[in-house]
């Protein structure tokens, strides 16, 4: 049974659009033409809204077992879009870095991105729940460690190290653990190639955040302005491009099996 019907997709889009409108109108009054950080917040917000519409509508095009993956991609960009509208307002109004919104966004979207690894494997074969739980545990350790360090509940370095351990655990699972074995041994070529690109995103694309933590926070070498622009671009890559890879494999596999 499909999770999202055409009608359902339209309704969720309209709801999403409405929830974003007031915030959009609000900030338009104060955005300065030379505030390039604010403008980057705007661009990313719009790209995330468009990506959400795209992923939800495309769920109607793929086979049932791929719909959940696409829906999750749409949820990631929707949740991020709403956070970006708030972050953009905070930045435009105060020039301050909206760290707390970023962490709340990560707390919801990063587990969803991790679930995607589990979902694309589950679409092609029977996989153990252990993969799911290990990816979740790694994610939580990474984010809670980073947050505790950033807000000062624990030392900045301790938070960084705990966060790195969580991330390393995730990388182990997808490069050498059960998830990687299932992908290598049982997945068709299109899924293998998606899995491999996704894990490079988690390695290289995700590295931007700990580097940002280090440069911006631990040694203060990077300004708030640059850091926000860098995070904003990273999120396009790590949320939208990640979703597009899943969309591509879902469409390819659906078309293969309808032949």
Ligand X SMILES: *C/C=C(C)/C=C/C=C(C)/C=C/C1=C(C)CCCC1(C)C
Residue 136 contacts ligand X per CB under 6 A: no
* Window of 39-47, 56-64, 185-193, 235-243 that interacts with ligand X by CB under 6 A: 235-243
Report in angstroms how near the CB of residue 219 gets to ligand X at its nearest: 13
* From 12, 232, 238, 252, residue interacting with ligand X (rule: CB under 6 A): 238
Task: Give me the least distance between CB of 179 and ligand X, in Å please.
Answer: 17
Return all residues near 100 (Cβ < 8 A) that are at least 6 apart: none
Q: Which of 79, 142, 179, 249 binds ligand X (CB under 6 A)?
A: 142
CB-wise, 4 or 142, nearer to ligand X?
142
Nearer to ligand X, 164 or 241 (CB): 164
CA–CA–CA angle 118, 135, 129 (5° rounding): 55
What is each CA distance from 250 to 93, 95, 144, 194, in whole angstroms?
41, 41, 32, 10
Q: Which residue is nearest to ligand X (CB)?
A: 146
Which tokens hold the place of 70?
A: 């696409």
CB count, 10 Å around CB of 245? 19
Q: Considering only the stretches 12-20, 27-35, 38-46, 109-117, report the one whose residues sit in contact with ligand X under the rule CB under 6 A.
A: 109-117
With the C-alpha atoms ordered 171, 135, 62, 241, is the resulting torsion angle positive or negative? negative
Structure letter (DSSP) for residue 177: S
**87 is an interface residue for ligand X by CB under 6 A:** no
**Which position among 62, 213, 240, 249 is part of the footprint of ligand X (CB under 6 A)?**
213
Q: Does 99 bind ligand X (CB under 6 A)?
A: no
Binding residues for ligand X, rule CB under 6 A, total: 18
- Judged by CB under 6 A, which stretch of 50-58, 84-92, 120-128, 160-168 contacts ligand X? 160-168
The DSSP secondary-structure symbol of 218 reads I
Among 239, 245, 249, 253, binds ligand X (CB under 6 A): 239
Is 159:203 a contact under the CB 8 Å cutoff?
no
Tell me which residue of 77, 97, 120 sits closest to 238, measured CA to CA. 77
Should residue 235 be labelled a site residue for ligand X when binding is judged by CB under 6 A? yes
Nearer to ligand X, 188 or 210 (CB): 210
**DSSP assignment of 17-72, as one string?**
HHHHHHHHHHHHTT--TT-HHHHHHHHHHHHHHHHHHHHHHHTTTS-HHHHHHHHH
- Work out whether the CA dihedral 61, 66, 71, 72 comes out positive or negative: negative
Question: Which residues of this protein are in contact with ligand X, per CB under 6 A?
Answer: 106, 109-110, 113, 142-143, 146, 160, 163-164, 167, 206, 209-210, 213, 235, 238-239
């Amino acid at each position: 049974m499909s999770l999202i019907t055409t009608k359902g997709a339209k309704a969720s889009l309209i709801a999403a659009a409405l929830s974003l409108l007031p915030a959009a109108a609000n900030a338009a009054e104060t955005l300065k033409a030379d505030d390039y950080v604010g403008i980057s917040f705007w661009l990313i917000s719009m790209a995330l809204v468009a990506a959400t519409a795209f992923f939800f509508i495309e769920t109607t095009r793929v086979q049932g077992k791929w719909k959940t993956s696409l829906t999750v991609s749409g949820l990631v960009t929707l949740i991020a879009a709403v956070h970006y509208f708030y972050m953009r307002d905070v930045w435009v109004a105060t020039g301050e870095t909206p760290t707390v919104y970023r962490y709340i966004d990560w707390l919801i979207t990063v587990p969803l991105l991790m679930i995607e690894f589990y979902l694309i494997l589950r679409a092609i074969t029977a996989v153990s729940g252990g993969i799911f739980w290990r990816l979740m545990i790694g994610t939580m350790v990474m984010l809670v460690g980073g947050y505790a360090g950033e807000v000062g509940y624990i030392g900045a370095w301790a938070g960084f190290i705990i966060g790195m351990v969580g991330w390393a655990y995730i990388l182990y699972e997808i490069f050498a653990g059960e998830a990687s074995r299932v992908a290598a041994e049982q997945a068709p070529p299109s899924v293998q190639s998606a899995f491999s690109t996704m894990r490079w995103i988690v390695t290289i694309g995700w590295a931007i955040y700990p580097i940002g933590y280090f440069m911006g926070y631990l040694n203060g070498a990077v300004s708030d302005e640059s850091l926000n622009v860098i995070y904003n671009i990273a999120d396009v890559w790590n949320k939208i491009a990640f979703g597009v890879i899943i969309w591509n494999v879902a469409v390819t596999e659906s078309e293969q099996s309808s032949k």
